[in-house]
Amino acid sequence: MRRCCGGAGLPCLFKSVGMANPRPPKYLLVFDFDETIVNENSDESVVRAAPGQALPERIRQTFREGFYNEYMQRVLGYLGDQGVRMGDFKAVYESIPLSPGMPDLFQFLSKNHELFEIILISDANMFGIECSLRAAGIHSLFRKIFSNPSGFDKRGYLTLGPYHSHKCLDCPANMCKRKILTEYLAERAQEDVEFQRVFYVGDGANDFCPAAALTAADATLVPWDSATEIARYLQELLKKKG
């Protein structure tokens, strides 16, 4: 799958450690999750925990375009009815492989953490994302994770909610990534954090809206098959900037 990394003037979130007055990072790096950081759609991956690793047609037929979050609520309800519990979900999420080159990219970002602030915006769910990132050893690199709220109720069922409401006509009812990104940038600006450039790393249709928040003067489209190509692009950027 050919993906793209957009660069522009958006803000970035990262923790600086051990400095009384740390210099703010120069660059904001915004990641999508499904089929970007990980090489699968994590919502589809959880079906591996279902009996026969498949959903009944009566559940599949309830999907409506633009209301995927509501559909996944029904999927998770069905899985709960089948006895799928926290340990089962955790095992699935922890087994999802990173996309090609992602370990190299995150190793580069770890070595240059003072320059990059990193956030994640995903229409998946918080529990699954945090399980995957911790299993990969990269959770601490993210200053902030924006995703749909999820947790386990008294029955032990994994529950899912919408992230927010919005008026964007291009995004699903539960999440507009551009709204999240622009609000984050505004928040960081109020904290006197200004970024020289913002980079957006994503794979598909639901990443076009947040990419539109990038300015024409700053934006660069970089197709990628392996995240190693993104690391190489950022390395060249740092060399040019000295």
Domains of the chain: 3-38+98-151+174-241 (3.40.50.1000)
Q: Is 88 one of the catalytic residues?
A: no
Backbone angles phi, psi at 118, to 5 degrees: -125, 130
Of the candidate ranges 5-14, 54-63, 79-88, 145-154, the one whose mean pLDDT is the lowest: 5-14
Bridge-based pairing state of the strands 158-160 and 150-152: antiparallel
Q: For 47-96, how does the pLDDT look when each residue is reduced to its tens digit (9 = 90+)?
A: 999 999 999 999 999 999 989 999 999 999 999 999 999 999 999 999 99
Candidates 34, 81, 104, 218; catalytic one: 34
Quick one: pLDDT at residue 3?
Answer: 57
Residues in the chain: 242
Q: Is 32 one of the catalytic residues?
A: yes
Of 171, 81, 191, whose CA–CA distance to 163 is shortest? 171
Distance CA 21, CA 219 (A): 30
Cα separations (Å) of 102 from 108, 232, 240?
10, 12, 23
Q: For 93-134, how does the pLDDT look when each residue is reduced to its tens digit (9 = 90+)?
A: 999 999 999 999 999 999 999 999 999 999 999 999 999 999
What is the distance, to the nearest Å, from the Cα of residue 165 to the centroid of all Cα atoms in its chain? Answer: 19
Where is the binding site for Mg(2+), in residues?
A: 32, 34, 203
What is the mean pLDDT of the segment spanning 176-203? Answer: 93
Of 58, 11, 3, 78, whose CA–CA distance to 35 is shortest? 3
